[in-house]
Amino acid sequence: MAKKIDDIFNNISVIPVLSLNNLSDSINVARALINGGINVMEVTLRTDYGVQAIKEIKSSIPEIVIGAGTVTTPYQFESAVEAGADFIVSPGHTKELLKLAYESNTVTLPGVSTPSEVMVAMEFGFNQLKLFPAEALGGINFLKAIKGPFPELKFCATGGITINNAYKYLSLSNVFCVGGSWLTPNRLIESKSWKDIELLALEASNLLEE
């Protein structure tokens, strides 16, 4: 599992997180991100269209790495995999979901917010996890503190991440990526401001090179 995660997230440090509602917007957002230098996106399953969006984007733009986010049930997990998701992200976890993820060949980032949840995820063999909601939990200080008892773990931090604090998270040795909606704000999608999204993606790409 670790090797597959490394294969997917090699050279990926920022994951745009978004909810989508129609085919046209989905394709345009994906192309804007790619044009801005980011070839990964996480489509949340917060809307009824989420699974279909994954299928349609993957079919139209096969080179993009696409994840399914806000996966909370085994049914959602299996539906996202069938739609072509390259990886699965959950805001939290249940043992049933962890068991399915462990037995699946699909890369999964289980969500955690406490040391106890970390330990449960570790029991199922996961050592790369999603920390959510990162800022509300203490952000940088939380990650520094949790490194002591769990030095082998690495996190994808989401929740409250912006262009202004992303670099601070990425500078930590136990953070391998961050996720956020700042690259694809709803106001830009609704106004179909694809060039603005491209510029936000480019800004994030440049941030990683500093």
Contact (Cβ atoms closer than 8 angstroms) between residue 158 and residue 131: yes
Burial string for 37-71 (b: 16+ CB within 10 Å, else e) reads: bbbbbbbbbebebbbbbbbbbbeebeebbbbbbbb
Give me the active site residues, please: 42, 130
The C-alpha angle with vertex 144 and arms to 127 and 88, in degrees rounded to 5, equals: 35
Q: Can you say whether the dihedral through the CA atoms of 136, 122, 68, 95 is positive or negative? A: negative
